[in-house]
Structure 1
Amino acid sequence: MSRIHTWFALLLFGLIAASDGLYSARDDVIELTPSNFNREVIDSDSVWIVEFYAPWCGHCKNLVPEYKKAATALKGVVKMGAVDADQHQSLGGQYGVRGFPTIKVFGLNKKKPEDYQGARSSQGLVDGGLKAVRDMVNARSGGKSGGGGGGSGGGGGDAKDVIELTDSNFDKMVIESDDIWLVEFFAPWCGHCKNLAPHWAEAASRLKGKVKLGALDATAHSGKASEYGVKGYPTIKFFGGGSKSRGSAEEYDGGRTADDIVRWAEEKAVALLPAPEIKQVTSNAVLKEACEDHGLCVIAFLPHILDCQSACRDAHLADLARLGERFKQKQWGWLWSEAAAQSALETSVDIGGFGYPAMVVVNKKKGSFATLRGPFTFDGINDFLRDLSYGRGSTSTIRGASLPTADEVPAWDGKDGELPEEEDIDLSDVELDELPPKTEL
């Protein structure tokens, strides 16, 4: 082969090799290699977002236009670089890269970059970069620094609601608390974990106040991962109820979308709710708490204790307790009153014509109520409440448009009723007029 041909072949090979890269010198994305990485990134005072990619990777190719767009938008604020980790495997291995693309955020501590877990869009990258800058500024000014790279742990999107867990804070945050938890054990390089991230963050926001969602990097905090038998990523564990106090956990077996996670968690949370207390209406405060602090309140009017002694009343209250457990997810208020003990309340919901036992369900906000017209049995009440929970059944307007003030009455002592003792009448001191003598006709 002639020298010209050799030179041409080398030039062509160089052009082909250069074309393998996903970014060029014309882009605002800086090509990084082992020879310039420390100088450009580690020794820099700037925040860097670095993508580790492979030229043959389809996801990497799809990311290119978004990554370039973000680099242009962040120019002068955050630097964005790219490493061909297929060609520079040592550099990828140094940062634990096991899949493509892997995106790292090099913020205040350049020796410990954080995995970017946000959306794979230009806006998501811009948001992640700006967050990392804010965290760096806050840390330098003595403020509190949040997690960088699109959020702490495995969360993405609105990841601030995902709580970062470690070996050192796990017991205090999860095991020793009274809160219900879903915990994701993840690995930064895990592709499935990255796909889960935005759904996990969304679920955390939607479940706020009900169930806490946490994330633990099982590669950095292997103690807890080992304790709970984590062998793959992501692994999700549920901590709640009695099992939580003993440190045991239940395996999450739901789907991996935000809707799936929320639905599964809410069902578990409901199962752990205590059954509502069936309270006697002994004062206006009891009536107000049950009917104002809950969407609906169930009120049973039980026969007088002389007409239905303690065994009879206890049976009714036991049925109400079972029904309260069955419908506890509705978070209704539950009340009972003795016949005629709250006459104004009975009049307001038209109880007088139905006899006892009777039941109404009151919506105080709407000023309406529904009346049980079927049998006062467990099944009869269950059907009535089930229909109401589905929005079926007729309602009436409370007389006077609102519930009256309840009377102060003594609480039932749990005993049988007794008739009042009749007083003996002593006639010894009573003077009676003498009857006139009988006369014969």
Structure 2
Amino acid sequence: MKPLLLGVLGCSLVLTVRALYSSSDDVIELTPSNFNREVIQSDSLWLVEFYAPWCGHCKSLAPDWKKAATALKGIVKVGAVDADQHKSLGGQYGVRGFPTIKIFGANKNKPEEYQGGRSSQAIVDGAMNVLRSLVKERLDGKSGGSGYNKQQSGGGSQKDVVELTDDNFDKMVLDSDEVWMVEFFAPWCGHCKNLEPEWAAAATAVKEQTNGRVRLGAVDATVHQVLSSRYGIRGFPTIKIFRKGEVPEDYQGGRTRGDIIERAIDLFSDNAPPPELQEILSEDILKKTCEDSQLCIIAVLPHILDTGAAGRNGYLEVMMKLAEKYKKKMWGWMWAEAGAQMELEASLGIGGFGYPAMAAINTRKMKFALLRGSFSETGIHEFLRELSVGRGSTATLGGGVMPKIQTVEPWDGKDGQLPVEEEYDLSDVDLDDFDKDEL
């Protein structure tokens, strides 16, 4: 077993640490407040590293990233985002591990993942290859330059901002199960005009990241004065948060898209139901659950004949409590009966520890960690907390690929039944025919 590499299982660590880059470097520091201006609205090709100051791989990359930035100065822009501090930016671009490098080329709204080497030379070569392709596309007339469509409000779409009125507000917002962030604006307000592209971009990102569970709307308070009066709107723009059955809350955060998205994700997490706890019944179920999640928490529970329904439900209840506790992580939670998925157990090395057992799997990196403590709310919480702060131990999943998953029938929720033994009728057997010595 190897020491857990920070970032392998997607970690967050609350420590006071220094940033990896400074103003003396040629690496441009990017934050939610300048990202749109510097990157999205730029005609330049950008390489952007999303990092965490505590991440060992990020620290190792920093000298080469700086060298590459110096070599590419004036040709390709090289930036870095402290995604541990600015989680909204990392979340906006689907960053799940550190370091992650994104290429913002022709279409700034759809960056590509950098897949090349991590040496300064490899980074420079990769950047120049992308640059040559970009220039060729422009020569062929296939690219519009930066790919930033100003009519789409800085990376978002106005259609994702819901227009709210005196007539539709109660039905759309107050009667809705979704959480709403609503901007009250005036068309003549300069601050409202500045907020408009940020609000539109945030609306698009929030719609995608919360599957429509958090929505952004806008009210022209100069036209719909009933709403403006009802909620005491005295200045523009004013943003309020609406949850069903609760008193509206004033939004107190920043006005950049990153700030808005971060608050929306928090609202989504606070109101989201815990993830579904699924039995591993087929390869499709495992694949979908784990590929959609940063981590997959898998338990192997004792056979039903060993625990009965009450015992199994006790284990499942513990898992559901932990799924609720860690729901903001948006991990996948699954279980299987001992012996039902033998190849999975073998890949995880579970057999030697008995049942119940548990593993946390990162299918993106094919790494896993095993629960060594008790299968209890306290024991599992400690296991997951250690992973979340980058401690513990990990290993590569057997063979570096997901094992074969058997298709099985779901548990019916009942106690197990012993197999029925065939009965033999001995009434017609003449025991005198047997040698008495054999009896």
Q: Deviations over 1:254-275 (max 9, x none)?
A: 3233244333221111122221
Measure, in 2, the Cα distance between the counterparts of 1:216 and 1:435.
97
C-alpha separation in 2, matches of 1:238 and 1:270: 15
* Counterpart-to-counterpart distance in 1, 2:305 and 2:265: 44
Q: Which moved more, 1:420-429 or 1:215-224?
A: 420-429
Q: Where does the alignment leave 5 or more consecutive residues of structure 1 unmatched?
A: 1-149
Q: How does 1:309-320 map to 2 (within 5 A)?
A: 309-320=308-319
Shift, 1:354, TM fit: 0.8
CA distance in 2, matches of 1:381, 1:282: 23
Q: Aligned partners of 1:437 and 1:322: how far apart in 2?
A: 63
Candidates 212, 227, 243, aligned match of 1:224: 227
Which runs of structure 2 are paired with 1:322-401 in the superposition (5 Å)?
Answer: 322-401=321-400
Number of paired residues?
Answer: 282
**What is aligned with 1:255?**
253
Contact 1:199/1:256 (8 A) holds in 2: no
Task: Report how far residue 250 of structure 1 moved.
Answer: 2.4
Aligned counterparts of 1:250 and 1:199: Cα–Cα separation in 2: 22
Matches within 5 A, 1:205-220: 206-209=205-208, 210=210, 211-220=214-223
**Which residue in 2 is equivalent to 1:300?**
299
CA contact (8 A) 2:156 2:202 kept: no
What pairs up with 1:24-39 in 2 under 5 angstroms? none
Contact 1:368 1:397 in 2 (8 A): yes
Q: Which amino acid aligns with 2:250?
A: Y
Report deviation, 1:408: 2.1
Cα distance in 2, alignment partners of residues 432 and 164 from structure 1:
92
Amino acid at match of 1:417: G
Decide which of 235, 238, 242 is 2:241's aligned counterpart.
238
| Rounded Cα–Cα distance in structure 2 between residues aligned with 1:434 and 1:407 | 49
For the 8 Å contact 1:278–1:321, the answer to whether it is kept is: yes
Shift of 1:232: 4.6
- In the TM superposition, residue 414 of structure 1 has moved relative to its aligned partner by 1.3
Asked whether the 8 Å contact 2:242–2:249 carries over to 1, the reply is no
Write the mapping of 1:406-425 to structure 2, written as runs, cut at 5 A: 406-425=405-424
1:215–1:431 CA distance, 2 compared to 1 (3 A): same
- Encode CA deviations 1:52-101: one digit per residue, 9 max, x unaligned: xxxxxxxxxxxxxxxxxxxxxxxxxxxxxxxxxxxxxxxxxxxxxxxxxx
State the Cα distance separating 1:191 from its structure 2 match. Answer: 6.8
Larger radius of gyration: 1
1:267 matches 2:266: yes
Indicate how the Cα distance of structure 1 residues 420 and 162 shifts in structure 2: closer, same or farther if over 3 A, else same.
closer
AA partner of residue 326 (structure 1): K
Q: 1:166-177 alignment to 2 at 5 Å?
A: 166-170=165-169, 174=173
Write the distance in 1 (CA, Å) between the matches of 2:207 and 2:296: 26
Q: Which residue of 1 aligns with 2:92?
A: none
Residue 206 to residue 252, structure 1, CA distance change in 2 (3 Å): farther
| 394 and 191 in structure 1: CA distance in 2 versus 1, 3 angstrom threshold | same
Distance in 2 of aligned mates of 1:260 and 1:370: 34
SS at match of 1:405: coil
Cα deviation for residue 387 of structure 1 reads 2.4
Give the aligned residue type for 1:238.
Answer: I
Identity %, equivalent residues: 52
Letter of the aligned partner of 2:427 in structure 1? Answer: S
Deviations 1:118-149 (A, max 9, x none): xxxxxxxxxxxxxxxxxxxxxxxxxxxxxxxx
Structure 1 residues 229, 311: CA separation in 2 closer, same or farther (over 3 Å shift)? Answer: farther
**Structure 2 contact 179–267 (Cα < 8 Å) conserved:** no
CA deviation profile, 1:265-316 (whole Å, cap 9, x unmatched): 2111112222111111122222222222323211100111121121111111
1:341 CA displacement = 1.3
Secondary structure of residue in 2 paired with 1:308: helix
Q: With structure 2 as the length reference, what TM-score do the two structures score?
A: 0.56
Aligned-pair distance for 1:376?
0.8
Query: How far off is 1:434 after superposition?
Result: 5.3
- How far 1:365 moved relative to its partner? 2.2
Partners of 1:417 and 1:314 lie apart in 2 by 13
Structure 1 residue 219: deviation in Å? 2.0
CA distance in 2, matches of 1:330, 1:380: 18
Unpaired runs of at least 5, structure 2: 1-149
Q: Give the drift of 1:185.
A: 1.4
Aligned to 1:25: none
Report if the CA contact (8 A) 2:304-2:415 is conserved.
yes
Distance 1:372 1:432, change over 3 A: same
Specify whether residues 215 and 368 from structure 1 end up closer, same or farther in structure 2 by C-alpha distance, changes over 3 A only. Answer: same
AA aligned to 2:228 is A
SS at match of 1:417: coil
Q: C-alpha displacement at 1:343, in angstroms? A: 0.9
3-state secondary structure, aligned to 1:207: helix
| Structure 1 counterpart of 2:252, one-letter code | G
Question: Which residues of 2 match residues 113-262 of structure 1 at below 5 A?
Answer: 160=158, 162-170=161-169, 174=173, 180-188=179-187, 193=192, 200=199, 203-204=202-203, 206-209=205-208, 210=210, 211-240=214-243, 243=244, 250-258=248-256, 259-262=258-261
> C-alpha distance in 1, partners of 2:434/2:231?
100
Q: Give TM-score, length-normalised by structure 1.
A: 0.56
Question: In the superposition, relative to structure 1, how do residues 428 and 289 fare at CA in structure 2: closer, same or farther (>3 Å)?
Answer: same
- Cα 1:159–1:436 change in 2 (3 A) is closer
Q: Name the counterpart of 1:129.
A: none
